[in-house]
A = this chain, B = another copy of it.
């Protein structure tokens, strides 16, 4: 594992069980200064995702971080209702958290991102772990955004791995291909964290039990949520376990883990209505020669990690357990309904 460096962060999410893991990972990493969080419809609606985010922030003792509701609908079409079979009807695996007492920000997610980019010129890191609607809207609001931020890390797409929403399309991209096409064609440094790496780094039941055994309410809540998530992934892997999409993107954005194979390649997004709709068409033809340089390519596609991610993730998440000061009195706030 590597040592994170200090950076202000804007997180764009659709919370979501693995979004909750990513959020907790960021909050548990002192070098990641989360300045604001926007939500977008994906796993759940933008509104439900925002409530889940606020509740998690309060549980983690970070209720001061502002949360803005973003786009309910993708750039074209309308929100399809999310993925309750994966994340539960409430988005966090039917776990009940104490309702946060703080309010949502009055700005939109896109406005928040643009504001933060101006407040932290050249240093803001964007972590996008839902559909890219808000990021595309921010690019429209502020065409200079790519110059203003340090870079963007995106959980999404599939390079050589199968898709998950369709045979070739991953859900975050497929839920708003037009937005993804705008974001991936903008002139900035993109790190794409596709299914290739998130499906090959798996959290096992023993890791979940470590979270459940924690004295801290945050790891315990995450462990409870993962019970639901594991049941979905049993249909994918044949055993109780899960992929680690969003927390892996968080760890790469923060610098807590290091990519092993991560070529910088051309990436197109399929916005047709054909069988490839929503696919990230990554030019991986350099595969047989260790991916020679592609002139003018900007998108770093992470295919593998130097080390197994699960132990690192669990270690970081368990650090909430020791922080009794931030979680005292919240032990009763988590219950599985």
Contacts and interface: CB of A to CB of B under 8 A. Distances in A.
A167 B274 contact: no
B287 A162 contact: yes
Contacts of A283: 162, 167
Interface stretch (A138-146, A147-155, A263-271): A263-271
- For chain A, give the interface size range: 20 to 34
Interface in A229-267: 236-238, 266
Interface in A278-313: 279, 281-285, 287-289
A333 interface: no
Contact of A275 (B163, B268, B289): B268
Contacts of A285: 162-164, 167, 236
* Smallest CB-CB A-B distances: 8 pairs: A276-B276, A272-B274, A268-B275, A167-B283, A272-B272, A162-B284, A275-B281, A162-B285
A31 B282 CA distance: 42
Interface in A105-158: none
Contacts of A199: 288
Interface of A: 160-164, 166-168, 199, 236-238, 266, 268-276, 279, 281-285, 287-289
Taking each of A166, A199, A276, which has the highest tally of chain B beta carbons within 10 Å of its own beta carbon?
A276
Given A276-B281, A279-B276, A289-B238, A162 B160 contact: yes
Contacts of A237: 288-289
22 contacts: A160-B160, A160-B161, A160-B162, A161-B287, A162-B283, A167-B266, A167-B268, A167-B281, A167-B282, A167-B283, A167-B284, A168-B276, A168-B281, A236-B289, A237-B288, A237-B289, A268-B275, A270-B275, A270-B276, A272-B274, A272-B276, A276-B279
A162 B196 CA distance: 13
